Amino acid sequence: MWTDRSLDDEQSTVNWLRWLMHSDAQFDKISGNTDSPGEMLFLLALNFHNNQMTAITDLVCNTLGMKITVKTSALVKIRHIFTMELFTEQVVAAHAVKIPVTPNLDARCTGSLPVHSILQLLKSRVFSKHKVSIRQELPNLLNILDITEALLCVKNGSTLITQLVANNPEAFLDVCRSLISRGEKQEEDSLGGLRRLELLRMLCLVNPKAALLVRNFCAEYCSMPGFAVAVSLQLAESNQSEDPCASDIVPYFTGLLLGSDVTVRNWFSSFVKAGQKRKPDCMLGLLRKYLLDQLIGLTPVNGQLIDVSKIVTASSLLRLYNALKGIATLKYSDEETGCLLRLIISHPAPCTAGAHFIALGICTLIASPSLLS
């Protein structure tokens, strides 16, 4: 008798939960999409699927307004109901893409938001596993450009944006352009700027072939010079194994300082001036370390001649150092001074490029007499 009653109660409970699943829209209108029964059911199902028992306990305690003990062993039956009868993985995936965006999303929002649910499902590849298309649903679910700024203030926001863009690649350049156009002139001076920089680096790791296009946005909007340095170093590191000479760092930054656009020149000069007041591990510091390594690598040892293949690169490097000092008022460190002098007084091979290198070296000594002091 008790067994029959237990089965009847269980079936009644299942029927009640099914009714809630189909009636959640009505409750959402009343609750304004805040703590609605439908939202709670979905969160419970998601946590049951991911074995997040602590999250379930927290949700129960917060809803009841009291601290209670929930034994995991006692949840076997209700977990089976949620995961095997009501919210299978396929149902969860299909339901997730229909969750509306949280209105007025900002850093003050608490709890488990729709973005967290989508993130968890993307990580576990539930959408692809059950062949639930999100390409058509995502633009209706959320406009990436509209929420990118808000997501930067939310925990795991950068990861979520990267996942969304990876699944919606046609939005890649638009998202990057939006991030840079709304960025700061000197992004390393604020936490928000650093988050924006890191997000852009993550996006360029996902799509390295478009990284140079993204970098061009920095000069176009005179914004985020730190990211321009970061992505340049990132590309140089990734290309080093294939072709050590493939990096365009020296010509790119020389062009910023010696180009005809005064606004761009002043923008990057301000970055260099401000960077000298920051810690050594700032973006300017990393750029200087890279250039110093190039200086050391180009300088011949034991009185040998500079290799013909390196003379043009050495000349370009001298021009960049002159531009950094003369235009951006960079103050050479002792190590930079020593390495520059050793490169200047080295012997190039007798050729046209070698003669040009010597001329640049003489002019550098005159322009920077501190090299001899």
Q: pLDDT value at position 124?
A: 57
Q: pLDDT value at position 102?
A: 54
| Average predicted confidence (pLDDT) for the chain | 81
Q: pLDDT value at position 2?
A: 44
Tokens of 302: 């034991």
Q: pLDDT value at position 113?
A: 47
Cα distance between residue 72 and residue 87, in whole Å: 19
Query: Do 46 and 83 meet the contact criterion of CB atoms below 8 Å apart?
Result: no
Most confident listed range (21-25, 67-71, 84-88, 338-342): 338-342
Distances, alpha carbon 280 to alpha carbons 237, 269, 271, 276, 315, in Å = 19, 18, 14, 8, 26
pLDDT in tens, 58-116: 878 887 778 888 787 878 888 888 888 887 777 766 666 565 555 554 445 554 445 55
Q: pLDDT value at position 89?
A: 73
pLDDT in tens, 150-174: 778 877 888 888 888 887 788 899 9
Distances, alpha carbon 331 to alpha carbons 251, 317, 336, in Å = 20, 16, 9
Flag the least confident range among 4-13, 132-141, 309-318.
132-141
Cα distance between residue 202 and residue 315, in whole Å: 34
